[in-house]
């Protein structure tokens, strides 16, 4: 829309009513007097010269397809079962991805009317998951993200979307994403002039190099402790473990190895060792659990589930390290030494992010480190190698990944001096 005038000269000059042939006139009248005119575009559907705004002028150039598209657009709004808030969240993801200003402007208002909060809309604008708890909106958002950025839906997304929206809702969201990508393509190609007297505001610009996949994966990478026993395909396991190998380490010594434990007998022993450790670790909170935040109670319940079902997890990735291969630059200081771990945990984090990207649930656990002697024996780990993380991996039982609670960047990132804020608070996060 920004360069609409120059585009106009080489593209489509909006058709004024006197320039329409009979077929175009019929479609023009249908759009102008149809339900759209009373809806969101009330008063702005035609410009001062009578031409149609948004994609509708382009539709007039091919009246048969244009009228089908027009009816399809209306039917998506009036004849579908998918909740309006979910549908609008999906459309906003498309408008955001294509930076289609008119579509964003029109559907931002539709989303507000459908009950999406400002925080949800702001998050979508910034290519983050909306904070809402509404499972239908979250499912529709995930569908749109995967279709737009990955061109297909992952198995877990399909399953979750089917549970949240039903088969019909799932398909309707997929259809809406397709239709609005078409609309975005038309808007961005033809860049029609704005409606008369209206300031069209599109989504905020995003840094082009800000790959959505990473930000989406990292900002929804929470501990997933309820995992299904279904196997993980060999190729998938290879991909996520390969991602672990890309991690940095001091002097590039890569002093770590990972053992993918799938043997039911060994996993059974892990579960027996983990359960009492988990119980002891959470014991101090149990008496007052009901007074604690719901999210904490949920985490403990999910942790209980993991403790009870660890042996059913398809893979437990056990990370081992060679203490002699660590570059420990803080060994002499009078405080706990942590630098050695810096050569080890990036590999785990890479694995977690790769699992998230695959739709696999996982959680970094360390309680079994206290049982190192037994684990070493079970897995044939030679001296002087030791263990530093045990990561159960599997397809999530329920929602799996989702929004995380972390300190805002402006409270942890400082400018030149400790405590001096580097950034002002982000809009919508206050």
Ligand X SMILES: Cc1cc2nc3c(=O)[nH]c(=O)nc-3n(C[C@H](O)[C@H](O)[C@H](O)COP(=O)(O)O)c2cc1C
Contact residues toward ligand X (CB under 6 A) are 222-223, 225, 303, 306, 363-367, 404
Distance CA 311, CA 294 (A): 27
What does the block give as tokens for 16?
A: 């004024």
Distance CA 111, CA 375 (A): 53
Residue with smaller CB distance to ligand X, 19 or 280: 280
Distance CA 255, CA 249 (A): 8
CA proximity to 324, closest of 259, 414, 411, 255: 255
Distance CA 30, CA 14 (A): 17
Q: Name the H helices within 34-134.
A: 35-38, 56-60, 63-78, 84-98, 101-114, 118-125
Residue with smaller CB distance to ligand X, 75 or 404: 404
8 A C-beta contact, residue 364 and residue 389:
yes
Cis peptide, bond prior to residue 384, ω within 30 of zero: yes
At its nearest, how many Å lie between ligand X and the CB of residue 289?
Answer: 15
At its nearest, how many Å lie between ligand X and the CB of residue 280?
Answer: 12
Give the chain's radius of gyration (CA, Å).
Answer: 27
Residue with smaller CB distance to ligand X, 153 or 271: 271
8 A C-beta contact, residue 426 and residue 410:
yes
At its nearest, how many Å lie between ligand X and the CB of residue 277?
Answer: 8
Residue with smaller CB distance to ligand X, 198 or 328: 328
Residue with smaller CB distance to ligand X, 14 or 400: 400
Name the strand (E) or helix (H) holding 235. Answer: helix 234-245
Residue with smaller CB distance to ligand X, 281 or 414: 281
Residue with smaller CB distance to ligand X, 289 or 415: 289
At its nearest, how many Å lie between ligand X and the CB of residue 298?
Answer: 9
CA proximity to 379, closest of 305, 317, 421: 317
Q: Which residue has the tokens 């660590």?
A: 326
Quick check: helix, strand or coil at residue 394? Answer: strand
At its nearest, how many Å lie between ligand X and the CB of residue 72?
Answer: 41
At its nearest, how many Å lie between ligand X and the CB of residue 223?
Answer: 4
Strand partners, 421: 414
At its nearest, how many Å lie between ligand X and the CB of residue 281?
Answer: 7
């Amino acid at each position: 829309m920004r360069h609409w005038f120059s585009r106009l000269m080489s593209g489509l000059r909006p058709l004024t009513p006197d320039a329409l042939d009979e077929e175009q006139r019929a479609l023009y009248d249908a759009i102008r007097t149809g339900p759209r005119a009373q809806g969101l575009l009330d008063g702005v559907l035609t410009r001062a010269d009578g031409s149609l705004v948004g994609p509708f002028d382009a539709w007039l150039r091919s009246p048969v397809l244009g009228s089908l598209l027009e009816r399809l657009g209306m039917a998506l709004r009036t004849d579908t079962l998918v909740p309006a808030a979910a549908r609008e969240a999906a459309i906003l993801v498309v408008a955001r991805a294509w930076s289609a200003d008119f579509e964003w402007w029109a559907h931002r208002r539709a989303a507000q009317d459908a009950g999406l909060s400002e925080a949800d809309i702001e998050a979508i604008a910034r290519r983050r998951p909306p904070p809402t708890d509404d499972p239908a909106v979250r499912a529709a958002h995930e569908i749109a993200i995967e279709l737009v950025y990955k061109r297909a839906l992952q198995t877990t997304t399909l399953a979750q979307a089917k549970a949240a929206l039903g088969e019909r809702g799932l398909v309707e969201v997929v259809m809406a994403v397709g239709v609005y990508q078409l609309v975005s393509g038309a808007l961005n190609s033809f860049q029609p002039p704005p409606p008369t007297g209206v300031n069209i505001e599109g989504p905020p610009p995003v840094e082009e190099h800000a790959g959505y996949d990473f930000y989406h994966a990292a900002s929804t990478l929470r501990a997933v402790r309820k995992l299904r026993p279904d196997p993980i395909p060999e190729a998938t396991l290879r991909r996520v473990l390969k991602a672990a190998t890309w991690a940095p380490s001091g002097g590039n010594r890569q002093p770590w190895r990972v053992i993918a434990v799938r043997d039911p007998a060994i996993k059974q022993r892990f579960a027996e060792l983990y359960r009492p450790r988990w119980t002891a670790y959470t014991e101090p909170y149990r008496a007052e659990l009901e007074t604690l935040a719901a999210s904490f109670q949920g985490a403990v319940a999910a942790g209980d589930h993991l403790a009870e079902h660890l042996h059913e997890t398809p893979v437990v990735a056990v990370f081992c390290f060679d203490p002699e291969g660590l570059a420990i630059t803080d060994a002499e200081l009078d405080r706990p030494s942590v630098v050695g771990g810096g050569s080890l945990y990036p590999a785990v984090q890479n694995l977690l992010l790769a699992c998230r990207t695959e739709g696999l649930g996982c959680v970094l656990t360390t309680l079994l480190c206290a049982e190192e002697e037994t684990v070493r024996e079970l897995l044939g780990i030679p001296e002087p190698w030791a263990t530093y993380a045990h990561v159960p991996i599997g397809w999530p039982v329920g929602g799996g990944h989702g929004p995380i609670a972390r300190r805002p960047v402006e409270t942890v990132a400082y400018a030149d001096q400790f405590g001096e804020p580097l950034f002002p608070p982000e809009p919508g996060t206050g």
